[in-house]
Amino acid sequence: MSSRIIPLLSLWLALVLPGITLANDARSLVEQASADSRLHATLAQSGKQAAAFCMNCHGENGNSKLPDVPNLAGQHPAYMLDQIDAFLTGKRKNEFMQGLMKVLSEEDKATIALYFASSAPVPALAQPGPRAGEGADRFKELCARCHRDDAGGEASFPRLAGQQPDYLRLSLKRYLEMSGERLYPPMTSAVRTLGEDKIDAMVDYLSSKH
């Protein structure tokens, strides 16, 4: 969103929602929206425009059509803001994404996160894979404590339910191999406990889960 459009958003909100003053950073703005359903709806709708370029890969409603690109629909907005920061700081390694994040304003970050968070997630696969039962057992044992029993994620951990199978497989192997794109020792420990031979079972379970 350009510097010229940002004041227009504030002006529009002042007309639509009298008495609303926007916070000046993304996290405060998301928190502000979480406490005001009208503001949340308005900012999420604004985020649809701000996210236009994101949709080329992540899908119009955050349900990716590309096998190695994650779904964003239904992710917690605070988690998405964390990932934006991770790309900006280099904690997550992806030159293309890092370049995109640099052009986002604070309002862009907040409204995009709110838009995708409010979008309905659609599982990547309609039916569970053949090893889904095995994957469900391992998920409950190793993953549910952080990602929740329903794999829906929360503010600090991503939604895994319904994710793209190739993306899940690639991410798990990156943690296992410590290839550098994402470094988080607890995940590496969990995937090593899971074992490379059980990765496909985990993917079969998660990729079709609602």
Task: Kindly report whether the global pTM for this prediction surpasses the value 0.75.
Answer: yes
CA 50 to chain centre: 16
Which pLDDT tens digit goes with each residue over 27-56?
999 999 999 999 999 999 999 999 999 999
Question: Does this chain's domain 5-117 share its CATH topology with 132-206?
Answer: yes
Determine if residue 119 is left, alpha or beta; phi over 0 gives left, psi from -120 to 50 gives alpha, anything else beta.
Answer: beta
Domain 5-117, CATH 1.10.760.10 — does that match?
A: yes
Assess contact for 194 and 118: CB atoms under 8 A: no
- The CATH architecture annotation of domain 132-206 reads Orthogonal Bundle (1.10)
Give the separation between CA 2 and CA 179, rounded to whole angstroms: 36
- Please list the alpha-helical segments (H only) found in the chain: 5-16, 26-34, 37-50, 55-58, 77-89, 95-102, 106-117, 132-142, 144-147, 165-177, 185-194, 199-206
**Among the listed ranges 1-10, 91-100, 115-124, 142-151, which one has the minimum average pLDDT value?**
1-10
Is the pLDDT score of 64 beyond 80? Answer: yes
**9 pLDDT tier (thresholds 50, 70, 90):** low
CA distance 208 to 210: 7
All structural domains of the chain with their residue ranges: 5-117, 132-206
